[in-house]
A and B are shown apart, each in its own frame.
Chain A
C-alpha cells in the first residue's frame, strides 16, 4: 500500500518493527475474532445443545449433546416462517414505497424545482432534528386514526410502509446525487421531446444506480432492525415481525429452542451482508460525511 499512515514504513521495515507489527497484528486478529465471532459461535453451538446442557454450569465450549432438532422445533413452535415472511413483506414493501415516492420527490426537488421546493425540502430535513422516539406517541395516535380519511392502520402493513416514506435522510442522499447529474444531459433529452418521467427513467435512474443501491439497503435494513414501532403497530401475533415475534415468545420456550431461533433469525441479514458487504460498507461512509 502506498498511503502513509501513523507508523512510518522505515520503522516497520526494521526487524524489531516487523516483530512488533506481527505480534500486535496477531493479538488484534485473535481478540477481534473472539469478541465478534465468539458470541455468534456461542449462539449457533448452544442451539444444538440439549435442554440440560444449555443451562449447565459451567457451560461447555464444545457441545457434548447434539440435538439439531432444536432448529426445526424453533421454526415450528415460534412460527418463524410466518415471522420471516411478514418481515420480508414489510421490508420490501417499504423499499418499494421509498423507491417510488422518495426517488420521485428527490428528482422533483433536484431537477424540476417547483415553487416552494426549497421550503418543502427544508421542512423534510427539519424532521431529522426531531428525535424519533419523541414522535412515537403522536405517530402511534395518528396511525390509530389517520386524519381526514379516518382509518385505523393498526395491524396493517400500511402502518409500516407509509411512515417509512418519511425518510428525510434518504431523500437528502438521493437529491444530492441527482444534483450531480449534468444539466446538459437532461436538457438534451428534453429538447428531443422526452417528458420528465422519461428523463427520470431512462437517464437519471441508470446513472444513479450506486446511490439507489445504498438507499435500498438502508430502507430494508431499517425495517428489518426496527423494534419499537412494529411492536406498537402490529400487536396481532400473526402479523408480527421477526424481532417482535421472537421477543414476545422468548419467555415461553426452552432456552435451547430460543437460541436456535435467534440463530435462524440472524442468518438472512448475515448472508445478505456477506454478499453485499462492499456496497453496504461503502454506502455507510458515503452517507453524508465527506471531507
Chain B
C-alpha cells in the first residue's frame, strides 16, 4: 500500500476502457498527466496543510522540545529532566492530580449516568420528545461564560436561588463554591448542566436503533423493567456507552473553564486546582513555559493511555 492513490489510474489504463478516450488528451505523456493531476490535488490541499503544519504539527513537536528546555531572556538552553522535577516537587502537583481525578470521577457519576437515564426515560415517551430533547440541549448552545456566571449567581450562599430552594425544603444551607469539601461537586453540577445535552442526544439516537423484537423476546422470558434494561438496553448500546465514557474521561481530565470561572481556578484551599489550571499558571502567571510543557507532557501520557483504548474500541466499531 505504498502509493494507493496511483492504483485507480493505472488500473484504468490497463483496462481497455473506452471512457478515457473521449476526454481531450492532455499534453505530454502519462508521467506529465500524473504529475499534473497530483499538482492539482496538492493545490487543493495546500491551504489546510500549511495551517496544520504551523498551528498543529509544529506546536506538537515544540511541546516535546519545550518540556526539556529553559527559556531565559530569549536564550534557550537544554535542561534535561529539570522541568519535570520542578513540576513534580511543586506542592500543588499531587493536589492538582487528585482534584482532576475527583472531578473526572464525579463528572462520570453525574455526567455519564444522568444523560443515559435521561435518554432512556425520554425514549419511552410517546409525547413531547421533541420538547424534552430541546430542553436538554438548550444549555449546550449558551456561551459558557453566561452559564458559568449564572451558576455563580445561583450558588451564592446569601442571595443565591439554590440556598433558597434548600431553605424552602428545610435542608441545611450550603456554602457551595466557598466550601472546600463541596466546591468541586458544585463545579461538576454546573458542568453537567452545561454539557449533558450532547451525550443525552447521542444515547437517544443509540436507543432508537435497538430492535424492538429484543424487548419482546425478553418479555416472553419473563423479564421485568430493570432486567430488560440490564440484559437488552445496556448490551445493545455497550459500544457507544464505552466510547462516550472514554471521550468523557479525556474531556473531563482537561477541565479548565468551569473551575477557572466559578472559583477563580484554585478555589478554596486549592480544592479546585486542576492539572490544566496548573499548566495555565506555569505558562501565563509564572512565564515558565518549560514547566508548563513538562506537565502537559505528563497529562498527554496519561490521556494517551485512554486514547489508545478509545482507538481500539472505535476500530472494532468500524468492522
Which A residues are within 8 Å of any B CB, using their own CB?
Answer: 1, 3-8, 12, 21, 24-25, 28-29, 32-33, 35-37, 39-40, 42-43, 46, 54-59, 100-102, 104-105, 107-109, 112-115, 117-118, 120, 123-124, 127, 129-143, 146-147, 162-163, 165-166, 171, 187, 190-191, 193, 196, 200, 221, 224-225, 227-228, 232, 242-244, 246-247, 250, 255, 258-259, 262-263, 265-266, 269-270, 272-273, 277, 280-281, 284-285, 289, 291
Contact = CB atoms under 8 A, between A and B. Distances in A.
Nearest to A285: B205
Given A137-B279, A246-B149, A105 B205 contact: no
Interface in B216-268: 216, 219, 225, 228-229, 232-233, 240, 243, 250, 253-254, 256-257, 261
Closest 4 CB pairs of A and B: A4-B212, A114-B41, A112-B41, A108-B44
Contact of A43 (B150, B233, B276, B296): B150
* Dominant secondary structure of chain A at its interface with chain B: helix
Contacts of A147: 54, 58
Contact of A146 (B54, B229, B311): B54
A6 B215 contact: yes
A285 B47 contact: no
Contacts of A135: 56, 59-60, 63, 296
B154 A42 contact: yes
Contacts of A32: 132, 135-136
A165 B47 contact: yes
A75 B177 CA distance: 29
Interface stretch (B84-92, B102-110, B140-148): B140-148
B216 A115 contact: no
Contacts, number: 300
A46 B304 CA distance: 44
A7 B225 contact: yes
14 contacts: A6-B233, A29-B132, A42-B154, A112-B41, A127-B57, A131-B299, A133-B256, A133-B276, A139-B59, A191-B19, A196-B41, A228-B280, A259-B150, A269-B141
B145 A242 contact: yes
A242 B143 contact: yes
Interface string B33-59: 000011011101101110110111111
B230 to A, nearest CB: 11
Interface of B: 1, 3-6, 8, 19, 22-24, 37-38, 40-42, 44-45, 47-49, 51-52, 54-60, 62-63, 66, 120-128, 131-139, 141-146, 149-151, 153-154, 158-161, 164, 167, 193, 198, 201-202, 204-210, 212-213, 215-216, 219, 225, 228-229, 232-233, 240, 243, 250, 253-254, 256-257, 261, 276, 279-280, 283-284, 289, 292-293, 296-297, 299-300, 303-304, 307, 311, 317
A190 B8 CA distance: 15
A55 B158 contact: yes
Nearest to B292: A137
B142 A232 contact: no
Given A36-B136, A108-B41, A113 B299 contact: no
B262 to A, nearest CB: 11
A3 B153 contact: no
A132 B162 CA distance: 33
Contacts of A118: 1, 4-5
B293 A131 contact: no
Contacts of B59: 135, 138-139, 141-142
A119 to B, nearest CB: 10
Given A114-B38, A131-B303, A246-B145, 19 more contacts: A5-B215, A6-B215, A40-B138, A55-B158, A115-B5, A131-B299, A132-B254, A133-B296, A142-B59, A143-B55, A147-B54, A166-B51, A187-B19, A196-B40, A255-B153, A262-B145, A265-B146, A273-B141, A285-B204
Contacts of A272: 141
A223 to B, nearest CB: 11
Contact of A289 (B126, B139, B206): B206
B291 to A, nearest CB: 10
Nearest to B198: A284
B138 A59 contact: no
Given A114-B5, A227-B145, A269-B141, A191 B23 contact: yes
Nearest to A187: B19
Nearest to A288: B314
Contact of B51 (A8, A58, A101, A143): A101
Nearest to B52: A166
A81 to B, nearest CB: 16
Contacts of B150: 39, 42-43, 259, 262
